Chain A
């Protein structure tokens, strides 16, 4: 007994010492993160300050209080940019999720060569926002591009997908939907997690496939759907590269692809109004935070955690 106590007496601090060492290793390993965080937090703070200044990039910032935010309230272009971004988000995100889920369900039925299809569908999402692909997209949908030639084959006079202000945004939606692969892979993983026994039991009870989908698949997949929805919304609201490359940075034709992020970039780097651009960035940040918060609040009513 005494030896046990002695043992404890020895081993206890040793164990704590071991834990300390573990903590230290953790902190050491966290150093790169901390350094990276500094590079995020500093610009974060600076941009918050700049949002309350008149700063033209070239001369020192001057404090103007809430002027930038007042300007935002009376800036019709900012309203256009907000509208473009919201329309895009509310069209592109649901369609992308539906397509991703649909393809994931198909692949989950046990397709031969699944790894191949999975990679093939996943690939576009890796490169969809890259400059080269957007350029390619532009030429495919160009006035004399592949799509219109294909349509002409059937006697259809295709619209100016990239040049007509009524179509350009929808062309970008198509590009976004094409990148459904990232959500699809996550859906697929989620589907694989659903125990087969639920379906077997349901079959025995005579549940139709549709009934099985809505009563088993959807509830058990809802956390994954929620995850994809949150990421999709945030990503879409922040769209920049596609719009920048697609319109040559103008947000054209006729401001139809003037995304909020692009507009704030224009203000900061082209119109010499970094103060206003910073204010816009913070407005965007707050709006995205609100969207995400609402998403989490509402999720209580439809997301089902099986544990």
Chain B
């Protein structure tokens, strides 16, 4: 099955249920008056939309709270269907096949190509009178656009970041490096130093090696794109090989978690995760998860930029949609579904319970309103993301159809390298041929 970007991340999310509930509890939420004032007189509609997301029970509760506001305002009911991310795409595909898709659903950017080419997602430009697209960040919308048509509205924006256990690192007598200037060499040396200073108790880092966003950034720093704008492989064997080589070199000196260690990181709670137990001092996360992670670990963490941004061929960072709200082409209530997407995007009240959990709102005005009420941890994420976004970054194209398969190929190759069944260079070459074949088959 597809190992999603966020497979690991979402395990983390699911694990954070308790923390999420705690944070939700102390956040100034939307109270009933908001709905009353706007929709007290709204006629009850017979329409009930179906919204499908992946979520833990605690997350779903937050979404439902926000959806209740929508129902109050418009009289349109929304039935939330949620399940674990692992089975999400299988279920969604089955519903599409049965002609019974949800009206509105979560999608990931790199899946869009496959659905759009089959015509099952509504083109959202045609609802521009319902969804206020002008208010949404144009750069983010560009990343939900496939072959000139808009298929999704970003749930918010996020980027990737390292989280370091600052307490642990400083406790070892080490100083936190300057993440705005550090190179991959600095990064490797720092992680090795953590391993050494901890007498081999803590690996400097340990992250999901085949994660597409990380490799995308790596390729961009090397002056390439993982995918070209016409949907072919835009990197080369050497660049991918060097990435795997870096990991193996770091593994050799304890900078990166030893063979097999990361596979045990499916603990039930964040406290029991490898990071929580200090087995690793850092990992890569989608930055929007920082708040939940840091609350669970008592504020020990620090958000750090990915290295190699200053000495590379060019900047590698991207700020991308966290997820997309998409609408089924077959929806029986297209107007109402579009109304729901507009609400979830452009109405500050829709963020009452979920806040910035799905990224910094894509509507800048809304983001300002929402960000004014967030916790310190959430603020750290918002500042980090907006900071990166405000910088001069090379353009980033939407991933082509077949990207999901490319992700699977990377997962397999990473394992082959980890268990020395392939050299990093061989993996680089394999990547080029396999990824090209996957993109061609999908295109």
Chain A residues engaging chain B, CB cutoff 8 angstroms? 56-59, 142-145, 160, 162-166, 244, 248-250, 252-255, 266, 269-272, 274
Q: Which of A143, A162, A269 contacts B261 (CB 8 A)?
A: A143
Q: Which residues in chain B, 82-100, are within 8 Å of chain A measured between CB atoms? A: 86, 89-90, 93-94, 96-97
Contact, CB under 8 Å: B119 / A59: yes
Contact, CB under 8 Å: B415 / A270: no
Contact, CB under 8 Å: B263 / A143: yes
A270 to B97, CA, bound (A): 12
Segment at the A interface, from B1-9, B170-178, B192-200: B1-9
A247: min CB distance to chain B, Å: 8
B182 contacts partner chain A, Cβ-Cβ < 8 Å = no
Q: Which of A144, A145, A163, A248 contacts B1 (CB 8 A)?
A: A248
A143 to B267, CA, bound (A): 13
A254 to B260, CA, bound (A): 13
A163 to B118, CA, bound (A): 36
A142 to B260, CA, bound (A): 9
Q: Which of A58, A252, A266 contacts B415 (CB 8 A)?
A: A252
Contact, CB under 8 Å: A165 / B7: no
- 27 A-B pairs within 8 Å (CB atoms) are namely A57-B93, A57-B97, A58-B96, A58-B97, A58-B118, A58-B119, A143-B263, A143-B264, A144-B261, A145-B264, A163-B259, A164-B260, A165-B415, A166-B419, A248-B7, A249-B90, A250-B1, A250-B2, A250-B408, A252-B411, A252-B412, A252-B415, A254-B412, A254-B421, A255-B412, A270-B1, A270-B93
Binary CB contact string for chain B from 263 to 282 against chain A (1 if under 8 A, 0 otherwise): 11000000000000000000
A204 to B115, CA, bound (A): 77
Contact, CB under 8 Å: A266 / B260: no
By the criterion of a CB under 8 Å from any partner CB, how many residues of chain B are at the interface?
30
Contact, CB under 8 Å: B419 / A144: no
Chain B residues engaging chain A, CB cutoff 8 angstroms? 1-3, 7, 86, 89-90, 93-94, 96-97, 114-115, 118-120, 259-261, 263-264, 404-405, 408, 411-412, 415-416, 419, 421
A271 to B412, CA, bound (A): 16
Contact, CB under 8 Å: A270 / B89: yes
A165 to B419, CA, bound (A): 8
A265: min CB distance to chain B, Å: 9
B308: min CB distance to chain A, Å: 28
A240: min CB distance to chain B, Å: 12
**Set of chain B residues within 8 Å of A144, measured between Cβ atoms:** 261, 264
Task: Give the secondary structure class of A's interface.
Answer: loop
Of all chain A residues, the one with the shortest Cβ separation from B405 is: A271
Given A58-B115, A142-B264, A143-B261, verify A253-B419 contact (CB < 8 Å).
yes
Contact, CB under 8 Å: B96 / A254: no
Q: Which of B3, B96, B412 contacts A57 (CB 8 A)?
A: B96
B151: min CB distance to chain A, Å: 14
A180 to B115, CA, bound (A): 44
A142 to B262, CA, bound (A): 10
Q: Which of A56, A269, A274 contacts B118 (CB 8 A)?
A: A56
A151 to B413, CA, bound (A): 29
Of all chain B residues, the one with the shortest Cβ separation from A274 is: B97
**Set of chain B residues within 8 Å of A274, measured between Cβ atoms:** 97
Contact, CB under 8 Å: B118 / A272: yes
Contact, CB under 8 Å: B419 / A272: no
Q: Which of A59, A160, A165, A255 contacts B263 (CB 8 A)?
A: A160
A128 to B182, CA, bound (A): 50
The 5 closest A-B CB pairs, nearest first, are A249-B1, A160-B260, A57-B97, A143-B260, A58-B118
Given A270-B2, A272-B114, verify A163-B260 contact (CB < 8 Å).
yes
A255 to B89, CA, bound (A): 20
- Known A58-B96, A248-B3, A270-B93; 17 more pairs at CB < 8 Å: A57-B93, A58-B93, A59-B118, A142-B263, A142-B264, A143-B260, A143-B261, A160-B259, A163-B419, A164-B260, A165-B415, A165-B421, A250-B3, A250-B411, A252-B412, A254-B415, A254-B416
